[in-house]
Amino acid sequence: MQIQVGIVGAGPAGLMLSHLLHQRGVESVVLDTRTREEIEGTIRAGVLEQSSVDLMVDTGIGERVKRLGMVHHGIELRFGGRGHRIDFADLTGGRGVTIYPQHEVLKDLIAQRLADGGDIRFGVSDVQVEGITGDRPRIRFTQDGAEQQLDCALVAGCDGSRTTTRFLIPSPNPRQDHFRQYPFAWFGILAEAPPSSEELIYAHHRNGFALISTRSATVQRHYLQVDPNDSVEDWSDDRIWSELHTRVAGAEIKEGPIFSKSVLHFRSFVCEPMQHGRLFLAGDAAHTVPPTGAKGMNLAIADVHVLSRAMAEFFANSDRTALDAYTATALPRIWRAQHFSWWMTSMLHRMPEATGFDLHRQLAELDTVTRSRAGRTLLAENYVGTPFD
């Protein structure tokens, strides 16, 4: 089968790329080793920047996010037993973020691609990409026991943090991997309870960081900083609620039955360049960020916003200028997001080797940020995200 773009991975990057290419008259095939049920059923949190929501609305997949998403115009930084609100609307000209889980974004994209006649191959195996430095790369895979092949003009590696496509770019030349592992993890829970706060609470405490988040009117998502070696069995329900109350001192935390527990490890990663020959990486295949800054899914969407336009220009005019500039165009936003995520993480989390000096320095930094309009604006502008264009 011959196709313009072969896309490996049906996550936010791959599905959004296929959707945007279709709108520009470019056809694609999306491959994923997971079934549709696995993709739509993997529960993941999601905070969408203003530009991500605007893009969904503008391209016809925004009905559910506008109806079901929860718009937040601020967050609370809590330290020293007091809360300090960061007013996004006031500081960014009315912009905000929308709480809308990643799996709901995937449901929207899958439904729209199938309604548009898009080709998504779920549950394939033995995916191999070949010939990316030639004029006609190939993707070999097995579907329903039969070996198949896609002959592509271009290939997009959107296969997430467990990517195989990234390693098709030779290392260490030209591929350079920039990596940092953080010495702590997040312990996440889902609980049946009403919201504890109208907006997210980011809490600094000498015991460690805590995040009071939300999922819906009846289900809440909360996180605690823990040792990376901790397991689900180490944390009883009573211990979880006790520690949340301690770390978010002075704010009401509404309890309820906990029905999900997980441990999320922290890392930062950037692959440079994000392209080689006719292979182009997007999303977690090219970079990952700590969840503190809520940038992961938004970076994936921003990547393919750039990439879809470059690919469309290539097919419309045989012009590789934008394609060749893809990495240089996408990387500045990625590194800004890396800095913001690192800054939020380092300002709010207790490092294992932290001394009294370090804790007081963090409190002084938080006080400086919340006391100064310039500091609050810096945080707000980065959190809601800059426009894609």
82 lies in a domain?
A: no
Name the helix (H) or strand (E) containing 339: helix 326-348
User: What are the two backbone dihedrals, phi and then psi, of residue 201, each rounded to the nearest 5 degrees?
Assistant: -115, 120
Question: pLDDT tens digits for 356-380?
Answer: 999 999 999 999 999 999 999 999 9
Whether the per-residue pLDDT at 44 is higher than 90: the answer is no
Q: Are residues 321 and 243 in the same domain?
A: no
Q: For residue 125, give its domain range.
A: 2-71+97-179+267-346
d(CA 220, CA 198): 12
Q: Is residue 373 part of a domain?
A: yes
Tell me the average pLDDT across 31-36: 97
- Mark whether 279 and 161 lie in a shared domain: yes
Let me know whether 212 and 66 are in one domain: no
Q: Does residue 283 lie in a domain region?
A: yes
pLDDT of residue 135: 94
* 190, 170: one domain: no
Give CA–CA dist 162/187, Å, rounded.
Answer: 21
Stretch 57-77: mean pLDDT:
96
**DSSP letter string over 34-94?**
S-HHHHHHS----EE-HHHHHHHHHTT--HHHHHH-EEESEEEEEETTEEEEEEHHHHTTS
Are 111 and 150 contained in the same domain? yes
Q: Is residue 79 part of a domain?
A: no
Band the pLDDT of 232: cuts 50, 70, 90: very high
Indicate the number of domains in the chain. 2
Q: Are residues 279 and 174 both part of a single domain?
A: yes
The 10s digit of each residue's pLDDT in 235-260 is: 999 999 999 999 999 999 999 999 99
Catalytic residues: 72, 202, 291, 295, 383
State whether 205 and 326 are in the same domain: no
Mean pLDDT, all residues of the chain: 96
pLDDT tens digits for range 155-181: 999 999 999 999 999 999 999 999 999
pTM of the predicted protein model: 0.95
Lowest mean pLDDT across 41-45, 95-99, 132-136: 41-45
**Confidence class of residue 126 from pLDDT cuts 50, 70 and 90?**
very high
- Judgement on whether residues 46 and 137 belong to the same structural domain of the protein: yes
On the question of pLDDT at 119 being above 90, the answer is yes
Q: Decide if 23 contacts 56 (C-beta within 8 A).
A: no
Establish how many alpha carbons lie within 13 A of residue 50's alpha carbon, considering only the half-sphere containing its beta carbon.
Answer: 19
Let me know if residue 118 belongs to a domain.
yes
C-alpha distances in Å from residue 346, one per residue of 58, 204, 208, 371, 376: 36, 11, 11, 19, 17
Residue 83: inside a domain:
no
Say if residue 43's pLDDT is above 90. no
Is residue 168 a part of any domain in this protein?
yes
**What is the structure's pLDDT at 389?**
79
CATH label of the domain that carries residue 197? 3.30.9.10
How confident is the model over 182-231, as pLDDT tens digits?
999 999 999 999 999 999 999 999 999 999 999 888 999 999 999 999 99
Choose the weakest-confidence range: 43-52, 222-231, 284-293. Answer: 43-52
Using CA atoms, how far apart are residues 196 and 98, in angstroms rounded to an integer? 17
The alpha carbon dihedral of 357, 363, 368, 374 has a sign of positive
Q: Are residues 272 and 262 in the same domain?
A: no
Same domain, 372 and 339: no
Q: Is residue 58 part of a domain?
A: yes
CATH number, domain containing residue 311: 3.50.50.60
pLDDT higher than 90, residue 42? no
